[in-house]
Structure 1
Amino acid sequence: MATPSIPAGGHGDPTRRDFLMVATGALAGVGAVATAWPFINNLNPAADTLALASIEVNVQPIQVGQAITVSWRGQPLFIRHRTPEEIKEAEAVPLSELRDPQTDNARCTDTAKKVRPEWLIQVGVCTHLGCVPLGNKPGQPKGPFGGWFCPCHGSAYDTSGRIRQGPAPRNLAIPPYLFTSDTLVKIG
C-alpha cells in the first residue's frame, strides 16, 4: 500500500498559508503606522510657530531716515530707511577697519540678489550676549558710528549694522528677505 505524499512545505495548501502570512504582516504594519502616526505628527511645529516663520511688512509708511521695529520669530527686527548720507558713510568704511568684514551692499541685498541700499533689514539682537541695541527709536542714542549702541557692554554698530567697537564678535544678523513689490517685503 502506498502512503499519501505530503506537500513539500508542510501541512495544508502552501499558497493559502503564504497569503495568510503576508496579510497578517501587512495588517500588523498598518496597525503600527496608525498607532505611531499621532506621536510622529506631534513632532511637527505648532501652527502659531509656523505663522512666525515668515512675516510681510509694508515699508511704504517708513520715511527716509526713519526706522521701525517689528517682531519676527520672537526677536526684534530693525527696518531702517536709510538716508543718502548714511549709505555714503557705510560705503566709505574700509573693510580692513572691520572686525567682521562685510560690504554695505552685501548687507542690503535680498534673497533675489537685488541690492536696495536704502533699506537695511537686520535682527536687532547684539551678537555679544543677546541684548537689544539702542538707536532704532527717535530719541535713543545712535552710538559713535551713527548706527546702534548696546549699553550693556558697549558694543557699537555703524549705519550698516557692522560691529565697530566693543566686545561683540559679529555684525548684526541679516535675515532672509525678499521684496515682493516696491512697498512689501517678506521676511523669513
Structure 2
Amino acid sequence: MAEGEGVRRRDFINIAAVSAAGIGGVATLVPLISQMAPSKDVLAESTTELDLSAIEPGQAIKAVFRKQPVFVRNLTPKEIQEANAVPVSSLRDPQTLAERTKEGHENWLVTMGVCTHLGCVPLGAGEGENRGEFGGYFCPCHGSHYDTAARIRKGPAPTNLVVPDYTFNSDTVIVIG
C-alpha cells in the first residue's frame, strides 16, 4: 500500500505543476495577444456612415473612407439606361451596372475615388467638373475616361473604379466598410 500512495502523491504533484505552468502561460499570452487588437481610433475609421437624402438624381458627393476618397452618385434614369445599353463584351473590365450596385438601390453607385492606373483622384463627382467622354469620371493625370457606371472606357487605367463593401441601413443611409 505504501507504494500506491507514493504514485498518487507524485501524480498530484505533476498535475499541480502542469496546471500552474498552464495558468502562467495563459496569463503571459493574454496581454500579448490583446495588445495586437486595433485601437479605438483605428476602429472608428474602419467604417463610414453616409446620409444620402440630400443627393439629388444626377448629383455625386465625395466622402472619405479609410483616408481615401469615395464617390457616391445618385444616377438618373437616363444614366442607368446609358450604362445598361453598353455591351458588356466591349468593356475592358466587363461588369454590368447591376453588378456594381445593390439590388433595390440600382440608382446609387458607390465607388472608391482612386483611378486604377496610378492612384490619382478622378474628376466628375463635384459640380461642374469634367466627366470625360462617357459622362462618368475623368482622370486628369493620364486621361482615363469612365462611364456613368464608373467602368473604364478609354485611357490607361486597367480596371473599373473599385466598389467598396457597403450596406444600406435604410433607404437613405449607407455604411461603407
Fold shared, TM-score > 0.5 on shorter chain: yes
The 5 Å alignment of 1:1-188 reads 7=3, 13-109=6-102, 114-188=103-177
For residue 3 of structure 2, give the secondary structure of its aligned residue in structure 1: coil
Structure 2: segments with no counterpart, 5+ residues: none
Calculate the TM-score normalised by the size of structure 1: 0.87
1:22-76, CA deviations, whole angstroms, 9 ceiling, x for partnerless residues? 1111111111221122221122222222222222211001111111111112211
1:68-110, CA deviations, whole angstroms, 9 ceiling, x for partnerless residues? 111112211110111222111111111122000001111112x
Calculate the TM-score normalised by the size of structure 2: 0.93
| AA of the residue aligned to 1:106 | E
For residue 145 of structure 2, give the secondary structure of its aligned residue in structure 1: strand
Q: Which has the larger radius of gyration?
A: 1
For residue 31 of structure 2, give the secondary structure of its aligned residue in structure 1: helix
Aligned residues: 177
For residue 109 of structure 2, give the secondary structure of its aligned residue in structure 1: strand
| AA of the residue aligned to 2:113 | G
Extract structure 1 runs of 4+ deviating beyond 3 A. none
| AA of the residue aligned to 1:162 | R
Give distance in 1, aligned partners of 2:34 and 2:116: 35
1:98–1:163 CA contact under 8 A, matched in 2: yes
For residue 68 of structure 1, give the secondary structure of its aligned residue in structure 2: strand
Structure 1: segments with no counterpart, 5+ residues: none
Give distance in 2, aligned partners of 1:171 and 1:93: 14
| AA of the residue aligned to 2:45 | L
**Structure with greater helix share of residues:** 2
Q: 1:102 to 1:126 in 2, by over 3 A?
A: same
Percent sequence identity is 51
Give distance in 2, aligned partners of 1:115 and 1:52: 27
Deviation at 1:6, TM superposition (A): 7.2
1:133–1:149 CA contact under 8 A, matched in 2: yes
